[in-house]
Structures are given as C-alpha cells and as structure tokens.
Structure 1
C-alpha cells in the first residue's frame, strides 16, 4: 500500500484520542454508559475540529460489545473490523444531495443491523442537502426505527432548516486551542521519529486557526521539508509568512509611523515571494495580542506566550494607543480579504500602510481620533516648543492703529456681543459674498487685544496672504463692517507671527493644522 497522509494515519479511534472537545466526549460517553442514546445528532463547528471523527467513534462505541466507561474497547469482534462494518454508512451530502438519494436511504433504513445493535448513518456536510432532500428526510429523522441513529455533521449549521435542528441533539465543536494542537503535533512527531522545535509547532498551530486536520497536514509537509528536525524557518518557508521577528519589527515601524521603513519591508516581502495576505493576517494577530495586553495587562488571552515575544508585546503596548491598535486591526483585516480579489496587491498593501501611518489622509472619525492621539504624544514629548508673540508689521490703512508689543492672550470661546463673535459672523458672510477675501482671511487668527481693538494675525508661512490683503486695501473696509456690527469704533492691525513669537494656544493650533486642514478642525 502507498503512503497514507498523517491526518488519516492518526485519525482518532477512540473518545480518548479526540482533542479539545472534552464537553462533547463526556456527554456522549455518559449517554452510552446510561443507555440514553438519542436517535439523531447534529455535530457542527469549524473544519478540522473532529466532527466526523467523533461521529465514527460514537458509531463504533454504541455497537462495541465490551465498551469501557462508554468508550470502545478496541478488542472485541466489532472493534477489530473497523472500516468494514455494514452497519455504519458515511454519506457525502455534497455529492448525494438530491431527493432520490434520500429516498434510497429511507429504503435501507427498514433493514435490521447486520452485526451490531445499531445502524448509524453519518451525513457529512449536511448543509449541502437540497430543500427537497431535507423535506424527504424529515419524517424518517423524526421517527426512525429504534435501531437507527442519524448523525449530521456540518460547518454551517445556520443553513440547516430549523425543522431538522429541532429533531436533533446539537453539539457545537469549538476551535482547538494552540496548546492542545501543539501537544498533539508533538506526540505525532515523536511517533514519526522526528524532532521539532516548540516554536515551530506553535507556528503550525497558529496558522491552522484551531483546525487540527490542517495542522497535521502542515506537519506532514514540514517533515518532508526538513532533515529530521523541524524549525520555525522550515515552517515559515511552507506557509509563506515572514516570521515573528520580522513581523514585530514591522509593527514597531507602525508604532513610529515610519512609512518609509514599512514600504521598504513590504517590498522585501513581495520580492521574496511571501504571501501578502498571510503576512497581513500575521500582523493582525500580533496587533490583537498587543491590544489584549494593553487592555487587560495580562498574558492569559495571548495566542503567543513565548517570553521574548510577550516582552516585545509589552514594549509595543506602551507605544500604541488602543484607538491606533483598533484602527490598524480594522484596516489590515479588510486588506486581508480584499487582497484575494485584486491583481494590484502591492498598491493596495502600500495604500493601507500609508493610511495606518498617516491618519490625516482618511476622512473617518476613527482616523481623526488617531490623529489627535498622535498630536498629543508629540506635544507631550516636547516636539511643540514653548512660544512667544511676533513683531507686528505697520498697519496699512489707519495711522492711529498702533502695533501691540505685549503678548496676546490665548483665545477664549466667543461670548455674545464680543469682537470674536462679530468676527465669526463677518467671516460667515464673507464666505458667501467674497470668496477671494475669505481665501485670505481663513489663514488668520483673530486676536482681540481690548474691547475696541484686535489683531489679524498671519503665521510666517502665510505672510504672502498678509501682503495681498494690504495690496487690495481691504483692511479699512473690514474695519468699517466690524464697527457697524459691533456698534462701536474698532481698531485693527495686521501682524505676522513667527516661530519664535507664537502663543501657546496658537502653537497647538499650528500643530493641529500640520495634521488636519482647518476645515476639518472646525467640523470636529
């Protein structure tokens, strides 16, 4: 006989060898011990978690002549002919999904078991049955002969009609944990006389996403790709990922908003033939672990418990806010699914990284929050310097408007009747009536210096707009309008603010404008 794949060689032959489903195994064994066996079961859950294997073990256990504590004995005549018994029928619903096949099944149900006490029908991928087939099965499933047991196995229980589910005992199989899969793989490797690093088995387990069959299949490939010793690099070569060290360096670049480094690393991934979708999933999983640690301050919920990796998680959790982590996870999760349906893999990957590192390029509220968080960190770290106020340029229109030498106070919220409120009303009118003038004034900060005087302040980089305002001779017209609105004489002066003479409030506003347009700040 030719080579048999590992997942077939090590398929569970007893309840004891079924991994990660203790709650189901315990219930089924108790039913057999107490002779409380139901006529119909529904086994549902993710692929590779033991649904069909458990169904086969259960089918043999109910017919075992000498079962031990509800499990198969492995020695009786029935157990010694596993795979050859006519009383156990496996039906693939994907290829036998019509009404005619179910009618044939109903005919065979009438015949007594050939050897054991029960005839067991295992219908795999039961959700693939047609509506007509379900209807044909319904009556038989509800009142089968006392010697017949039906077991329906499916990965998509929501596609099974409620009328079928209500006639079955439902058992939900869960994804198998990383540690449980690692223990199973370690046992198989020893039986195959192969050594394997624990980190390599953990990488296989994480890749399988809770499916033991997928994990054993990858172990089978890894054995062939190694020289008797399986390493992490050997596993990474097969699954197309970049490895933990590279992935954590990638996340560190995200924390630093180092777009250039990220783009270079992305280029390396693609040029080296790695799968971008797999890499995006790896980054997402590590970001999820960092988020879990950031929130819980505990390692209990981490999918990777290697001490060096956990230490790196703690370091990165201090550099990445929860809002930043959440947004990065959302963008990368979307990227992973989008990469399957596009030919522009590199472009899509690069655009996503730019969005993560430069939230000001996005329009959503989460990006705005992310931007504000980043700005706070810059201010706290001293990137924004302590400021003073600028030397003014002479007023262009009215000689009596004198430059103000003292520092202007930080802006306060406008109050009814104040010059600030009058100025805001004026800007709203100008926006509708004189677009050119509004284009000049929107670059300014209006700073009242008394009840009857104020400065129109331009930053040093916007000094050209101040010159344009003077050339147009608009200052007097602005002053006249403000006087009429305020009901009193108002003095105006144009000033240009330099980096050395900024007020604390305007310095923060300038930093904000480096991240966001002024319009966005006003909307928020």
Structure 2
C-alpha cells in the first residue's frame, strides 16, 4: 500500500462490443481483408472487452480462411453455434422434448463447438426473449444482426417472464460449474433437463390468500373447470370416460399442443368426468394448475 500510494494508477475499462467491432473493421480495411460484419461482431463478443484478445482471434480466423472471411468460417474457427441452431434449440425447449435437446447437444459436441460459448449464447438468447416481452422497442436493445426479431417475438409468447429469469439463472450456474468440471457436457445436459421442468411462479401473497380463503369457505381443494366448446363431431357421453371419449379428448390435446405446446403438460394431469358436444369438465388436483388454465389468455384455443 505504501508503494501504491506513491504511484499513479490507470484503470483501463473494458471496451464495448461496438468499439471493438469498429476497430476490427478499420484493421481489416487497412489490411484489405474482406470479412462479413456478423463475423466481426462474433469476434468482438468473444473478445469480452479486450481489444488484444479480439485481434488475436481475428488473426486466427484470417490464418484459417485467407483474405476473404465469411461468418460461417468465423463460427467454425471459434467454435460458435450459429443463430439458426439457437432458434431450433429454443423451439425444442418450447415443445418440452428432453430427448431431442440432448441429441442436439451431442451433435453440437461432434461438430467441435464450444459448449461454454453455446451456454453463454443461449443465456443471451433468453435475455433477448425477455427484452422482447418487456420492451416496446426491442430492436434498440437487441443485436438484430445475430437473431431474428420476428422469431423472438413468436417464441416469447410461449414463456412467462419469471420462467425466462429462472432459466437464465439455471444456465448461469451451469456455466460456472462447467468451467470447474471435467464432465462439462453432462453438467450442461442436466441443466437443460432442469430448464424443461421450469414452471411460472405464483406470488406467495396470492397463494397465502387463496389458502386462507379456502380454509374460511371450507371448500374442497379439488376444483372443477368447465369450458364451452363448439365441437359438433363428438357425441354426448356419460360422465364415465369411455374409450370413444378418450380418443376425442386426445384429439383435443393434440390440437392444443399445436397452438400452445407448453400447455399440453397441464392437460395431461387433469381428469375428464364430463365430455359432450356442449361441455367439457376438467378436474385438477391443485390450485396452481387450475388458476393457470382459467387465465383468459389460456381458456381459448
């Protein structure tokens, strides 16, 4: 401390991604290197605020591709997973298909991609989904060169904001564990399985209020939910679910899965005591699922 008190210290703050990109563009122009803008942005992102690291990565890419560099070459050299793969990955996450997601991870590893970079890219993608849900002008906060804003808007409809925040936390923890583990692929796969099981939170105040209300009213915790439907193909049946009713109910669940894939999970847990051309009665064993199904945005398909 005595020595430092007699020294003049200079703290160099990390450069922004745009500053690094501009400098790399200048270098490429002076050296007559033809490189795509998206490739420079990928290099700047991995540089993480360090101009020296970004220039070293640029040298590696030029040594691999020569004087004409495309974005695919940058991804191949640096082990980056492209935006199309991220979009497909999130689509499978929406469908809640764990086997397909694990298969995608294995394919990414076979291609020599960096799982750590992929984990961080997926975290950024979830962040972009959250921005799309909250911002009226998401294009000002998202790099539209690396992802499609229209696809983000469509995918964001399938997630609750608290789901995305929990998913981000799960990936953040997994990314740190992957650095310390010799089994980074398994750590990442386990994190993905946790993502699939993520469900939206209910505020504790609301839950306490509902519990107190149920105790005061002495009501049965099993609640019934009735939904009107315009279907004219299914004939009226008794409250006992027979084989024909089960087939028709399966058809309805398939239709729901096509419009709201995440919602099929909740319908699998319910019982159907009444099924007719005028009414479907669903029985749920918990208040959380009942409230979710009863929400106005979910009651119509």
TM-score where L is the length of structure 2: 0.67
Partner of 1:311: 150
Deviation of the 1:260 alpha carbon: 2.5
Q: Does 1:500 align with 2:275?
A: yes
Contact 2:25–2:40 under 8 Å retained in 1: yes
Q: What CA distance in whole angstroms lies between the structure 2 residues aligned with 1:296 and 1:180?
A: 25
1:463-505 deviations in Å (ceiling 9; x for gaps): xxxxxxxxxxxxxxxxxxxxxxxxxxxxxxxxx9746389746
Q: What CA distance in whole angstroms lies between the structure 2 residues aligned with 1:356 and 1:261?
A: 14
Q: What CA distance in whole angstroms lies between the structure 2 residues aligned with 1:446 and 1:258?
A: 29
Deviation of the 1:246 alpha carbon: 0.9
Q: Does 1:350 align with 2:207?
A: no
Q: What CA distance in whole angstroms lies between the structure 2 residues aligned with 1:280 and 1:249?
A: 15
Aligned positions of 1:484-523 closer than 5 A: 498=273, 500=275, 504=281, 506-507=283-284, 509=286, 512=289
Among 49, 56, 59, the alignment partner of 1:220 is 59
Q: Does 1:338 align with 2:177?
A: yes
Question: Where does structure 1 lack aligned partners over 5 or more consecutive residues?
Answer: 1-133, 142-149, 155-172, 360-366, 371-411, 425-444, 448-458, 461-495, 516-524
Structure exhibiting the larger radius of gyration computed from Cα positions: 1
Aligned-residue CA RMSD (Å):
3.5
Q: Does 1:209 align with 2:66?
A: no
Deviation of the 1:197 alpha carbon: 0.5
Contact 2:274–2:281 under 8 Å retained in 1: no
1:183-212 deviations in Å (ceiling 9; x for gaps): 111110111121101111111111112222
Partner of 1:369: 201
Deviation of the 1:283 alpha carbon: 0.8
1:207-251 deviations in Å (ceiling 9; x for gaps): 112222211111111110112111112111222122121122212
Structure 1 291/193 Cα, relative in aligned 2: closer, same or farther at 3 Å?
Answer: same
Aligned positions of 1:51-200 closer than 5 A: 134-138=1-5, 141=6, 150-154=7-11, 173-200=12-39
Structure 1 355/135 Cα, relative in aligned 2: closer, same or farther at 3 Å?
Answer: same
- Which is helix-richer, 1 or 2? 2
Q: What CA distance in whole angstroms lies between the structure 2 residues aligned with 1:340 and 1:498?
A: 51
Q: What CA distance in whole angstroms lies between the structure 2 residues aligned with 1:221 and 1:320?
A: 39
Q: What CA distance in whole angstroms lies between the structure 1 residues aligned with 2:121 and 2:84?
A: 11
Partner of 2:140: 300
Which SS does the other structure have where 2:172 is aligned? helix
Q: What CA distance in whole angstroms lies between the structure 2 residues aligned with 1:310 and 1:330?
A: 23
Question: Where does structure 2 lack aligned partners over 5 or more consecutive residues?
Answer: 203-212, 225-239, 242-270, 293-301
Deviation of the 1:276 alpha carbon: 1.2
Which SS does the other structure have where 1:319 is aligned? coil
Partner of 2:114: 275
Q: What CA distance in whole angstroms lies between the structure 1 residues aligned with 2:223 and 2:288?
A: 18
TM-score where L is the length of structure 1: 0.40
Deviation of the 1:324 alpha carbon: 1.7
Instruction: Give the number of equivalent residue pairs.
Output: 236
Q: What CA distance in whole angstroms lies between the structure 2 residues aligned with 1:446 and 1:187?
A: 66
Which SS does the other structure have where 1:506 is aligned? strand
Deviation of the 1:294 alpha carbon: 1.8
Q: What CA distance in whole angstroms lies between the structure 1 residues aligned with 2:104 and 2:272?
A: 41
Q: What CA distance in whole angstroms lies between the structure 1 residues aligned with 2:14 and 2:175?
A: 21
Structure 1 351/223 Cα, relative in aligned 2: closer, same or farther at 3 Å?
Answer: same
Deviation of the 1:336 alpha carbon: 0.8
Structure 1 221/307 Cα, relative in aligned 2: closer, same or farther at 3 Å?
Answer: closer
Contact 2:14–2:50 under 8 Å retained in 1: yes
Deviation of the 1:252 alpha carbon: 2.2
Aligned positions of 1:425-464 closer than 5 A: none
* Higher RCO (C-alpha under 8 Å, 6+ residues apart): 2
Q: What CA distance in whole angstroms lies between the structure 2 residues aligned with 1:311 and 1:180?
A: 27
Among 63, 88, 100, the alignment partner of 1:249 is 88
